[in-house]
Structure 1
Amino acid sequence: MQDNNRRPIAVRSSKWAKRIAAALADSTITPNQISCISVLFALAGSAALLVWPGRLGMLLCAASILLRLLCNLFDGMVAVEGGRGTVTGPLYNELPDRLADSLFLVALGYAVGMPWLGWLCALLAALTAYIRTLGGALGQEQDFRGPMAKPHRMWLMGIALVVAAVAMPWQQQILIGTGAIIAIGSALTCITRTRAIAARLHVQRT
């Protein structure tokens, strides 16, 4: 995992993140294992949302999203700052993310009785990542711009779940609106990334 292909995350430079990453780097756990653990959190969170569709399930799912994002933070830190990277690191950096995204987003669609919305969000989320990695395959730095990149999608869904758990009478409307925002924002992200890649290709040609 190279620096120019890493998602810019401000919290990576915080003291608490560096301490935890250092402790993980000194342990036997590998960056690839941390990436895979993120999928387990996604499985647990999506299952909680579907099995307990009320307040408990939403809060458990929100907590699982946070834990998944922490895994996404520390796998890279252990690999790069901790010097524990492997040749398969880029593979494990991408595939678990796509699985975790889909699990959370599809579960959101089923939770509100609109499976098609969850599958649409998952498809568009995967497409944003595909376009980003396509730019990398074309020799460009990977483009992590939004407006609905992975952290934006997950933070939005996590916050919406907490708000919906508190405002139970409007639970359905809040979560449907969240799914719609994720879908529209992801589609816009696909457009912005594609246009940026095309613009750089034109510059390279000239």
Structure 2
Amino acid sequence: MEPKNGDASRRPLAVRKNARVHQIAKWLNERNITPNQISLMSIVFAALGFAAMLGYHFFASSVLLLVTALCIQSRLLCNLFDGMVAIEGGKSTASGELFNDVPDRIADPLFIIGVGFATQHESGMYLAWACALVAVLTAYIRVLGVSMGTKADFRGPMAKQHRMALLTGALVVLFLQNLTGFFTDLPVNIIELALVVMLLGSLVTCWRRLVFIYQDVEGAALKDGDKQ
């Protein structure tokens, strides 16, 4: 669930303005469904996605790639609707911050490490683990900034929605490659390329967020000093 402290702490998403999205959020809000329950469902979808990729590693059934891609998008829908039910639906709770962040810190590594099972080389799994660790680091830096008095910084280039879009696209491309046989003889596969992009982009994201925190905190200190 998204926290109660206003729009500044919410990830900016244009899809919230969509009429159909509002209808779905309203339907959920009218049921006996809490935002925290929706948040926890994101872990369920992440676990299903991880299990599907583990199955792909052993059975190489391409349909499991699409199952994982669907799980990723379902997880993102949970992230969308938990906040809408909490804020627009007026169901925010005092513990909302826990349900906002902790499920994401579990779901991200499950998906990222899971796609490591579809890499072509043994080193691909090490790459997936590195991406998962840095993904958690990007969120830690954002939360650290908030604790230091800055606004929540959701900038990329590899924020959560960017990472999940990259994984979804790579899984669909790998499915089509397996289906058609195109470009299957390359030295690396699309998943490994996506993980490299994710790792580099996540490192840039960490740097940009750290710079933002430093500049914001130091700028505020200078202003306070001028007033004294």
TM above 0.5, yes or no, is yes
2:33 matched residue in structure 1 = 29
2:210 matched residue in structure 1 = 194
TM-superposition CA deviations, 1:70-116 (whole Å, max 9, x none): 00000000000000110111110000011000000011123314221
Sequence identity percentage: 45
- The separation in 2 between residues aligned to 1:105 and 1:54, in whole angstroms, is 19
Measured after TM superposition, the shift of residue 54 of structure 1 is 3.5
2:201 matched residue in structure 1 = 185
1:118 matched residue in structure 2 = 128
- The separation in 2 between residues aligned to 1:190 and 1:11, in whole angstroms, is 25
Structure 1 unpaired stretches of 5+: none
1:87 matched residue in structure 2 = 94
2:49 matched residue in structure 1 = 45
Q: Which amino acid aligns with 1:7?
A: R
2:12 matched residue in structure 1 = 8
Runs of 4+ in 1 over 6 A off after TM superposition: none
- Paired residues, number: 206
Contact persistence 2:131–2:195 (CA under 8 A): yes
1:69 matched residue in structure 2 = 76
Secondary structure, counterpart of 1:167 in structure 2: helix
1:127 aligns with 2:137: yes
Contact persistence 2:174–2:190 (CA under 8 A): yes
Q: Which amino acid aligns with 1:184?
A: L
- The separation in 2 between residues aligned to 1:36 and 1:190, in whole angstroms, is 26
Contact persistence 2:42–2:79 (CA under 8 A): yes
Structure 2 unpaired stretches of 5+: 223-228
CA RMSD of superposed structures (Å): 1.1
Q: Which amino acid aligns with 1:163?
A: V
- The separation in 2 between residues aligned to 1:181 and 1:98, in whole angstroms, is 20
Structure whose CA Rg is larger: 2
1:159 matched residue in structure 2 = 169
Contact persistence 1:54–1:165 (CA under 8 A): no
- The separation in 2 between residues aligned to 1:50 and 1:15, in whole angstroms, is 37
- The separation in 2 between residues aligned to 1:186 and 1:55, in whole angstroms, is 28
Q: Which amino acid aligns with 1:64?
A: C
Q: TM-score, normalised by structure 2?
A: 0.88
Q: TM-score, normalised by structure 1?
A: 0.97
Q: Which amino acid aligns with 1:150?
A: K
